[in-house]
Structure 1
Amino acid sequence: MNASKSLRSAMGPMAQLVVLFTFISLPACSDSPAGESPPAEVSIGGTVSGLDGTVTLQNNGADDLTVSSDGPFTFPLAIAAGETYSVTVQTQPTDQVCVVTDGSGTAQADVSTVSVVCTTNVTIGGTISGLTGGTVTLVNNGVDPLSTDMNGPFTFSASIPNGANYEVTVQTRPVGQTCLVTNGSGTATDDVTNVTVECEALMLGPLPEIYATGKAINYGAYRAGGPDAGEIPSDEDVLEDLGLMQSAGFNLVRLFGSNPVTEKVLRLADANFPDMRFQLGITLFGMLDDLCEVPENDQEIETAIRLASTYEDIVATISVGNETSFFSCFMPINCLELYIERTKEGVTQPVTADDDYTFYAGQNAVNGSRCGNQPDTILPLLDFVSIHAYPVSYFQAWDWKQEGVEAGPLRAAAMMEAALGHAQENYQAVYDYEYLDALGATVTVGESLPIVVGETGWKWRQTNSGLEIEDYAANPVNAKWYSDLLRTWERSPGGPPTIFVFVAFDETWKGIDDGWGFWDELRTPLYALCDTSVPDAPACNDPLYEGAGYYDPSP
């Protein structure tokens, strides 16, 4: 039987209408308690704790609410039930950071569970000692500079959030001093007061005796692709090179970079050529800002410090960077200062920074990647100055053609004497450059620091067709002639104590900057080594400089 049909048939029309009305009037199913309608609007609020000041909150990017004490809060504007809410901090209280939790969701009813917890920022500071009248500038996390000339406690003006990291470094050192930061980094969970900054006078190291007695040369061990190709010369190749240089009397060798190849050279020299001494190099790579954050540079310095300690008996000096003035737009002067200071703090040997003579003479022009950096803040950091002077490269700056002299041997001799004169003028320009020394006195470079010639040489063959002088004078005899002239200038009155000739062996991987070697890339000795004890040395001409090149445009 159909019960529904039976029920309708048992009712009269009026009763059926009542039943129908009753069904229509029943409420729909909902979350609201029986008999209650859902709210049309709901409020958003919660609790603030830890507040010491005033914080401004927002809901959904509006409805600003300023709170000045701990306790419950409710935004003045309600939102429609079922809409989303998002509580954020618009304005933090002074020296505090407030963090919102449970701050977003969909509001079906009044919300009172938003939590805003405020914590007080912490300050970073410590103690400075050893200042002797100069000013030191410190920074925290690279910002918030603090400059002072007073010893005693210091505190950075800007606080940082509780639980944040801090790192205190020296941005600018006082003149004539170096400052070392300890306890300078960490995570601040309370006010930090234990950072120490100890300043002391810069100590200049005297040049080792080998710089007054030795025969110096630049050396690169690469024979094929060079460092960019990842070349690692074999032990046998390096031992051959060291033996050849020793046979020519070279006992002071300049190395480039602190890397696995350099370490190999030092290891083999220490075991097999213990009387040889080395100037250890540090390669520096450029950067696009002045933050000095280049991992490759950090690695070079760390390796140099380790090698200088491991091979302290044969590492005589250290040079930081090589011709960085040529890319000074990418080597901010403050970064070069920092790298020199870090090196000096880690080694006991004297430290220099090899660069072109124009830098140390204050003639570094603005051109291309050269931004005109001056040496004034570098010089007080150095134990000695090492300059590069190349008459061939700067041939337009001196009278290399000597057209007033008869073409032939006399013109060749005049050219070579003028070449040496140009190098001597470069040296004198550096000698006469004035700067403020570590004590704040105005001095010249020459009266305050030893000056060595770190690179100079003459091409024995043409490799750069763009240099007119190479068309006429890139010649093995000219290369020997210039080398001989350098030896007469070295340790003469007013001359440099040491001249590092460039370079031991040709480096074909350098392309147009090749051709300077005393041996070619196959280790065949060239005319500069004639009639020496070097294996397979060529015989000298008679006259000695017969065959030298000179300017002669005639067909």
Structure 2
Amino acid sequence: MKLTQELKIPFGNAICYSGFREGQMPGGAVPSYEEIKEDLLILHKNWKYLRLYDCDEHAQIVLDVITQEKLDFKVMLGAYIVAEKNNFGCPWGGSYSEDVLKKNKEKNIEQIHKLIQTANRYPDIIFCLSAGNEACVDWTDHYVPVESVIDYVRMLKKATKQPVTFCENYVPWLNKLNKLVDELDFVSIHTYPVWEYKHIHDSLNYTKENYYAVANKYPNKPVIITEAGWATNSNGKGINQENVSEENQKIYYDDLIKWTTERKILTFVFEAFDEPWKGSNDPLEPEKHWGLFKEDRTPKKVMKHLYSKLTIKS
């Protein structure tokens, strides 16, 4: 509610969107104009806000489709910043040579400049900017010091008109990001009860605890949720298999939307479509199965009531 009052952003349904399909991935092959158009025509039925993680080719095509097809979306656009410091505590990597870290810093500055250029090119579509994603949490493989993030936020605020945030797991907001909060227009948190072994019937209360822990710490700063969702498959690594299903996803989604709509908390559901490129080669890798729609764009149980007549192009 604070967000709409202080930033004058109307409340609406919001979703994270990554359109990469089988054989496509960031840094590799990207979806075509027609593939992204297909996705956005699906999402346009139910969502007003899209969150994009970077400002590279995929994002540019999304913005082109929105513009050329005259679709009524507003976009949160991010800069995907990469490791500037080693994080030896990350269980899946996070150690780099000094040469790589130096080049990464240069890449990050380029990303921020690209975000500035894109934001100024599409001022009527891009409604807010993020200076990065999950780069300060203890387990990240692309760790960026808080001081660097503050520099990037200041660069964005100096050169653009949109409100600026940073997207991060709820935990760092409770301690290490205090100085960053002072620089932001609003705080963006991620909350994943299923990653923390919560039962489906405890999930909404846990999300509320995460949200209010941050919101109460910063009573004068708007707080939104930029990632919250429930996986539908798991190989048991990181998420208990008995905790994930399409039924559980629907329970969490319905409860989440009911609460956030009542409280007018802008919440980007994670994720629009399953992402087969993520994680290991195991088809049950949980990272691949967060979509409200399958990779072939057919709706999962949570969306079947809205998309019962959805026809997918072959």
Fold agreement, TM-score > 0.5: yes
Q: How far did 1:207 drift?
A: 2.8
**Aligned residue among 514, 517, 520 for 2:291:** 517
Q: How far did 1:267 drift?
A: 1.2
**Aligned residue among 50, 68, 92 for 1:253:** 50
1:358 aligns with 2:142: no
**CA distance in structure 1 between the aligned counterparts of 2:249 and 2:184, rounded to whole angstroms:** 31
Change in 2 beyond 3 A, CA 1:317/1:329: closer
Change in 2 beyond 3 A, CA 1:324/1:522: same
**CA distance in structure 2 between the aligned counterparts of 1:218 and 1:476, rounded to whole angstroms:** 18
Q: How far did 1:461 drift?
A: 2.1
Q: How far did 1:531 drift?
A: 1.6
| Native 8 Å contact 1:451 1:496 kept in 2 | no
SS at match of 1:334: helix
1:480 aligns with 2:257: no
Higher helix share: 2
Change in 2 beyond 3 A, CA 1:335/1:453: same
Structure 1 segments unaligned to the other structure (5+ residues): 1-204, 363-373, 401-414, 434-444, 538-555
**CA distance in structure 2 between the aligned counterparts of 1:233 and 1:421, rounded to whole angstroms:** 37
**CA distance in structure 1 between the aligned counterparts of 2:77 and 2:309, rounded to whole angstroms:** 27
| Identical amino acids, percent of aligned pairs | 29
**CA distance in structure 2 between the aligned counterparts of 1:503 and 1:245, rounded to whole angstroms:** 11
**CA distance in structure 1 between the aligned counterparts of 2:180 and 2:306, rounded to whole angstroms:** 40
**CA distance in structure 2 between the aligned counterparts of 1:392 and 1:496, rounded to whole angstroms:** 24
1:504 aligns with 2:272: yes
| Native 8 Å contact 2:276 2:295 kept in 1 | yes
| 2:61 aligned residue | 264
| 1:285 aligned residue | 82
Change in 2 beyond 3 A, CA 1:319/1:468: closer
**Aligned residue among 209, 228, 248 for 2:9:** 209
**Aligned residue among 19, 22, 25 for 1:221:** 19
| 1:241 aligned residue | 39
**Aligned ranges for residues 161-172 of structure 1 at < 5 Å?**
none
SS at match of 2:226: strand
TM-score, length-scaled by structure 1:
0.49
| 2:282 aligned residue | none
Q: Residue deviations 1:394-435, cap 9 Å, x none?
A: 11xx5x2xxxxxxxxxxxxxx42x1100010011111232xx
Q: How far did 1:260 drift?
A: 1.4
**Number of residues paired by the alignment?**
285
Structure 2 segments unaligned to the other structure (5+ residues): 86-97, 280-284
| Native 8 Å contact 1:324 1:331 kept in 2 | yes
**Aligned ranges for residues 88-167 of structure 1 at < 5 Å?**
none
**Aligned ranges for residues 290-301 of structure 1 at < 5 Å?**
294-301=105-112
**CA distance in structure 2 between the aligned counterparts of 1:240 and 1:352, rounded to whole angstroms:** 29
Q: How far did 1:530 drift?
A: 2.0
SS at match of 2:277: helix
| 1:348 aligned residue | 161
Higher Cα radius of gyration: 1
Q: Residue deviations 1:348-378, cap 9 Å, x none?
A: 000100000001122xxxxxxxxxxx01110
**Aligned residue among 288, 310, 320 for 2:121:** 310
**CA distance in structure 2 between the aligned counterparts of 1:285 and 1:467, rounded to whole angstroms:** 23
Q: Residue deviations 1:223-270, cap 9 Å, x none?
A: 1344455112110000000000012x1110000101111111111112
Change in 2 beyond 3 A, CA 1:329/1:223: closer
| Native 8 Å contact 1:284 1:300 kept in 2 | yes
SS at match of 1:517: coil
Q: How far did 1:323 drift?
A: 0.6
**CA distance in structure 2 between the aligned counterparts of 1:295 and 1:452, rounded to whole angstroms:** 30
**Aligned residue among 162, 169, 189 for 1:387:** 189
**CA distance in structure 1 between the aligned counterparts of 2:52 and 2:26, rounded to whole angstroms:** 17
Structure with larger RCO (C-alpha < 8 A, sep 6+): 2
SS at match of 1:294: helix
SS at match of 1:448: coil
Q: How far did 1:221 drift?
A: 1.5
**CA distance in structure 2 between the aligned counterparts of 1:501 and 1:217, rounded to whole angstroms:** 5
Change in 2 beyond 3 A, CA 1:500/1:330: closer
| Native 8 Å contact 2:20 2:26 kept in 1 | no
**CA distance in structure 2 between the aligned counterparts of 1:534 and 1:341, rounded to whole angstroms:** 46
| Native 8 Å contact 1:325 1:355 kept in 2 | yes
| Cα RMSD after superposing both structures | 2.2
